[in-house]
Structure 1
Amino acid sequence: MKPLVRNAALSSYVEVSKSLGIDPRSLMMRVGLDPVGLTVQDRWISGVAVAQLLELSAAASRHEDFGLLLAERRRFSNLGPISLVIREEPDVRSALELLVRHEYMYNEMLHSRLSEANGLATLKLSLEPGEAMTARQSIELAVGAFHHLLRNFLGTRWQPVSVCFTHSPPADTGTHRRVFGPVVEFDRDFNGIVLYADDLNTPNPMSDPLLRTYARQYFESIALSRGATELDRVRDLIEVLLPTGRCSIEQVAGSLGVDRRTVHRHLAASGETFSSLLNATRTQIAEQLVANPRRSLTEISGLLGFSAPSAFSRWFGERFGCSPRQWRLRRAEQQRFPAE
């Protein structure tokens, strides 16, 4: 399947779009992304769709610096669980090497490489979307995000030797020079950042030696597997799409950048069908929601993707052997009078 990125790749997208006078919802729908899904940063979405969205947004807003405006708003938390670990790394080199080595944990489309020679360190970035496409904004977002990260470690007055882009300069380079300083260069042979190798030895001011061991242990527990399985990907997308009422195999396939037959084939390899996984996911979520007395059954019906509460009640009865209201009452009684 084509590479995915975490929802957090579009962090602040809505705010930036509105500030530039464009409608984020309509643009997201054009590339098959659901605006509601942005509320869950740890979900995975199509990297190609994200790249297309950023290009459309730059064109619609007439801002060639759109990707860079997003990069300015990046925070450690946008990296996901790995952010907890890099904050505790002893120096810049260790933190950067960790990000490069485990980039698959936050962006499957991004490929980065750190090298050192003649007193200089070079961080080269590239995108591999799996198809030919323009990705200028995505590249600038990635380079800008790494630059912002390095300044978190090295201080706001730090400046690299150069910031390089393979594409030509925009008509107005004001934002680029404000963000990167006078060292930004275009029409170069790679995208990335060049800095002094000594900068990598700078101690991390955020690091707490007492927390480092715990952070590493936590990281090792979540980094054993290289990325999620195809089954995990489909399950995550089902959770995101259910509240929209458009949770179909076609919609899931579109988000993954493949056709429905490919989704069927991957699920069959795990002994599942789309219907079985949809029902299993719905069942798990339904148990959590119905147990919460503060949520109305009508609201729960919508969150589970049913067109009407009656359809939800029929489905629930088939799965649980009673109505949602009866199940909720039984659960409340069990909590009040637990078995001895």
Structure 2
Amino acid sequence: MWHLTYHLEAPLSVRPLARYAALHGYIELAEPLGIDPIKVLRAAGLDPAGMDVQDRWVPAAAISRVLETSAVAARREDFALLLAQHRRFSNLGPLSVSIREAPDARSALETLIRYQHMYNEALHLHLSERRDLTTLIVNYDTKADVGTRQALELATTVGYQLLRTILGDAWRPVAVCFQHGPPSDTGTHRKVFDSDVRFDQHFTGIISTTADLRKPNRMSDPMLRSYTRTLLESVETANPPTVLTRVRELIELLLPTGRCSLDQVSRSLGVHRKTVHRHLAQSGETFTSVLDSIRVELAERLVADNRYSLTEISEMLAFSTPNSFSRWFRGHFGVSARVWRASAQVGEDFASS
């Protein structure tokens, strides 16, 4: 047996992140199953409003916590398989463009593996070949004390759906394997995979004939391959996320929950608060300065938007009282929030006239 592995380590020794796209369709699935999705998301430290921003990065552990909690709440051990039915090829973001134009199924998987860090840092895939069989092995590590059964099943199902999309509905894997034990009812698993489903195996993954993976990609257009390769390379060569970048993302995420603090951000990153402080200092920042700059950016946008009252905005920006927000706003913008809002509205009216 030999292994073909592409693995790019996360640039920071912190807990891995994942894109909100991992939960695509979650609210639509949760509500009919009797789950309060807003409550579950907030309990996991996620901002429900952020679900609309699929490319936003959040702690992978929080994604796993949402999946595990929901499976228990709905009493559906097949929760991840149901959620996978809501996934779209486009949920892979820029990566979907390159995979679509891969010449064959194996090339598509190799692209997925090579660039897996672009959509989920907790997910680790690799290909293992033996004789005439090739196995896509799936591992999931959040580096946190949280169950990963549902996350593993979601990733495996998405991988299976990808291969079906590339090879056609007639394709069947040799077997789909899970390291964990079987659910009380395996009906959904056997229906979704329509093949041999095995539990209590020594790995989680999809076994296919090597010949099948050499078959051409039904979606591929040879004329577009050079373009998609250039596009993906340009995305990959972008600067990797820094501690400052991740702190900013987490502050934006945590502010509306009322739990935005250095301790909470440090826990989400999986490092000590002193480590965060040290990295920010190297960038000439402090936690307070970053928090304040994000509040300025958000306040400027939110105050100009008449959909929110100033009291609601003060809560969204985690101020203790509306008066505290008013004093802070005047100190940064030189005028009251009400005057700023009125001026912004006048500007809009002038632009539209």
**TM-score in terms of structure 2 length:** 0.84
- Residue 96 of structure 1 aligns with an amino acid whose one-letter code is L
Matched, 1:284 2:304: no
Q: Which residue of 2 aligns with 1:167?
A: 180
1:301-321 residue CA offsets vs partner (Å, 9 max, x unmatched): 454444555433322332233
- Aligned pair partner of 2:219 in 206, 231, 246: 206
SS at match of 1:89: coil
Matched, 1:49 2:51: no
Q: Would the alpha carbon gap of residues 258 and 70 (structure 1) be closer, same or farther in structure 2, given more than 3 Å must change?
A: farther
The whole-number CA distance in structure 1 between the counterparts of 2:345 and 2:145 is: 56
- Aligned pair partner of 1:193 in 190, 193, 206: 206
SS at match of 2:206: strand
Does the 8 A contact of 2:45 with 2:257 survive in 1? no
Matched, 1:100 2:113: yes
Task: Kindly state the Cα deviation for residue 111 of structure 1 after the two structures are TM-superposed.
Answer: 0.8
SS at match of 1:93: helix
- Residue 68 of structure 2 aligns with an amino acid whose one-letter code is E
Matched, 1:77 2:122: no
The whole-number CA distance in structure 1 between the counterparts of 2:22 and 2:345 is: 40
- Residue 219 of structure 1 aligns with an amino acid whose one-letter code is L
Task: Kindly state the Cα deviation for residue 42 of structure 1 after the two structures are TM-superposed.
Answer: 1.7
- Equivalent runs, 1:135-284 vs 2, <5 Å: 135-224=148-237, 227-284=240-297
Q: Which residue of 2 aligns with 1:6?
A: 19
Does the 8 A contact of 1:243 with 1:305 survive in 2? yes
Task: Kindly state the Cα deviation for residue 184 of structure 1 after the two structures are TM-superposed.
Answer: 1.1
The whole-number CA distance in structure 2 between the counterparts of 1:79 and 1:89 is: 15
- Residue 113 of structure 1 aligns with an amino acid whose one-letter code is H
Q: Would the alpha carbon gap of residues 300 and 28 (structure 1) be closer, same or farther in structure 2, given more than 3 Å must change?
A: closer
- Equivalent runs, 1:301-312 vs 2, <5 Å: 301-312=314-325
Task: Kindly state the Cα deviation for residue 143 of structure 1 after the two structures are TM-superposed.
Answer: 0.5
Task: Kindly state the Cα deviation for residue 332 of structure 1 after the two structures are TM-superposed.
Answer: 7.9
SS at match of 2:326: helix
SS at match of 1:111: strand
Aligned residues: 338
The whole-number CA distance in structure 2 between the counterparts of 1:25 and 1:331 is: 32
Task: Kindly state the Cα deviation for residue 330 of structure 1 after the two structures are TM-superposed.
Answer: 6.6
- Residue 75 of structure 1 aligns with an amino acid whose one-letter code is R
Q: Which residue of 2 aligns with 1:22?
A: 35
**TM-score in terms of structure 1 length:** 0.86
Does the 8 A contact of 2:41 with 2:66 survive in 1? yes
Q: Which residue of 1 aligns with 2:3?
A: none
* Identical positions, percent: 54
Q: Would the alpha carbon gap of residues 53 and 289 (structure 1) be closer, same or farther in structure 2, given more than 3 Å must change?
A: closer
The whole-number CA distance in structure 2 between the counterparts of 1:336 and 1:17 is: 41
Does the 8 A contact of 1:105 with 1:226 survive in 2? no
- Residue 165 of structure 1 aligns with an amino acid whose one-letter code is F
The whole-number CA distance in structure 1 between the counterparts of 2:142 and 2:311 is: 41
Moved more, 79-88 or 186-195: 79-88
- Residue 125 of structure 2 aligns with an amino acid whose one-letter code is S
Task: Kindly state the Cα deviation for residue 188 of structure 1 after the two structures are TM-superposed.
Answer: 1.5
Task: Kindly state the Cα deviation for residue 126 of structure 1 after the two structures are TM-superposed.
Answer: 0.8
Q: Would the alpha carbon gap of residues 148 and 226 (structure 1) be closer, same or farther in structure 2, given more than 3 Å must change?
A: farther
Q: Aligned-pair RMSD on alpha carbons?
A: 2.9
Does the 8 A contact of 1:65 with 1:176 survive in 2? yes
Q: Which residue of 2 aligns with 1:119?
A: 132
The whole-number CA distance in structure 2 between the counterparts of 1:120 and 1:226 is: 38
Task: Kindly state the Cα deviation for residue 223 of structure 1 after the two structures are TM-superposed.
Answer: 0.7
Q: Would the alpha carbon gap of residues 90 and 295 (structure 1) be closer, same or farther in structure 2, given more than 3 Å must change?
A: farther
Q: Would the alpha carbon gap of residues 56 and 242 (structure 1) be closer, same or farther in structure 2, given more than 3 Å must change?
A: closer
Moved more, 151-160 or 205-214: 205-214
Task: Kindly state the Cα deviation for residue 107 of structure 1 after the two structures are TM-superposed.
Answer: 0.9
Q: Would the alpha carbon gap of residues 27 and 295 (structure 1) be closer, same or farther in structure 2, given more than 3 Å must change?
A: closer
- Residue 2 of structure 1 aligns with an amino acid whose one-letter code is R
Moved more, 85-94 or 249-258: 249-258
Q: Would the alpha carbon gap of residues 335 and 180 (structure 1) be closer, same or farther in structure 2, given more than 3 Å must change?
A: closer
Task: Kindly state the Cα deviation for residue 164 of structure 1 after the two structures are TM-superposed.
Answer: 0.8
Matched, 1:38 2:51: yes
Task: Kindly state the Cα deviation for residue 20 of structure 1 after the two structures are TM-superposed.
Answer: 2.0
